[in-house]
Amino acid sequence: MKREFLKWLSTFRDSIATYSYYVDFEKVFGNVDLIKVELNILNSLIGSKNIKEEFELIVYKYPETLKCIPILLAVRQSEISITDESGSFNFNFSTQTRSISEYSNFMEKSGLFDLLSNHLVNNLIDYVTGIETGLDSNGRKNRGGHLMEDLVESYIQKAGFVKDKNYFKEMYIHEISSKWGIDLSAISNQGKMEKRFDFVVKTDKMIYAIETNFYGSGGSKLNETARSYKTLSSEADTINGFTFVWFTDGKGWISAKNNLEETFDVMENIYCIKDMENGVMRELFK
């Protein structure tokens, strides 16, 4: 039975966020634990009246405390580049590559001495936990991309498929061709383009190559995605024993519904979360 596009689109979700989507506290606490001893040593600087001298003594005795400095500035990498009136400088905090006085100068000019000596923080472990929480929230976009993959994979498993036995994650075109001896040159521009599919499901009669995505907000990328998957689907239709399947969802599609509708009208195997809930995988993968 022919599906109605607008009715199908109306089932799209605002969000598929899980509890850990907003902040991965396990990761946050793990990162803090890695430098907890060093942070406790630097805690002795809080409220110091002679912070420059005390910092230099700490670095002399415990040079490993240097690795904590970047995160105090909400920087993940261990190297920080600085440009001032004297020129450009690179500070490595994973190992001591400069004199202690140069690191001390960095602390002073970056404002960290002021932060510590004037009691603007009370405990560096709590302070870094807050920084890690903030930095982790920036990872929501990456986590959001994996949420749809995880959801689709859960339904593949519910349909009775077993990972690395009859369904596979992240397979390239050349891997599919090699594993099952199928010619996929029609979708690889005669072998010139290498594409990776999120999942591949293998049944006795068919190879299903699957792409997944969820768009909570609009943007030009959605139109590009709809057009490229429309082309990919038509190319896949020329290959015997091979089917391209697209699982997508998200209210972001409302801003690009015209392009999505064009793809929907010509692509048989395009589905949303509601379709998965209604058991489409058991019907499709036969």
The count of other CB atoms within 10 Å of the CB of residue 120 is 11
Mean pLDDT for all residues in the chain: 93
What is d(CA 149, CA 128) in angstroms, rounded to the nearest whole number? 31
What are the φ and ψ backbone dihedral angles of 163, each rounded to 5 degrees? Answer: -60, 135
Q: What is the pLDDT of residues 204-214, one digit of tens each?
A: 999 999 999 99
Residues in the chain: 286
pLDDT score at 283:
92
Q: Which residues lie closer than 8 Å to 280 by C-beta, 6 or more apart?
A: 271
pLDDT score at 17:
86
What is d(CA 93, CA 91) in angstroms, rounded to the nearest whole number? 6
Q: What mean pLDDT is predicted for residues 85-89? A: 85
Task: Inform me whether the pLDDT recorded for 144 exceeds 70.
Answer: no
pLDDT score at 188:
72
pTM passes above 0.95: no
Which two tokens mark 193?
Answer: 């383009």
pLDDT score at 285:
93
Which two tokens mark 185?
Answer: 């040159």
First to last CA, the chain: 19
Kindly list the structural domains of the chain, giving each domain's residue range(s) and its CATH number in brackets, ordered by start: 5-18+140-284 (3.40.91), 35-137 (no CATH)
- Phi/psi zone of residue 47: left (φ > 0), alpha (ψ -120 to 50 degrees), beta? left
Q: What is the pLDDT of residues 164-198, one digit of tens each?
A: 999 999 999 999 999 999 999 999 766 557 899 99
What is d(CA 74, CA 134) in angstroms, rounded to the nearest whole number? 9
pLDDT score at 145:
67
Specify whether the CB–CB gap between 16 and 214 falls below 8 A: yes
Q: What mean pLDDT is predicted for residues 234-247? A: 96
pLDDT score at 156:
97
What is the percent of the chain with per-residue pLDDT over 70, rounded to a whole number?
96
Q: Helix or strand or coil: residue 171?
A: strand
20-24, 69-73, 146-150, range with greatest mean pLDDT: 69-73
Q: What mean pLDDT is predicted for residues 110-131? A: 94
What is d(CA 15, CA 255) in angstroms, rounded to the nearest whole number? 16
Lowest average pLDDT, out of 7-21, 39-53, 237-251, goes to 7-21
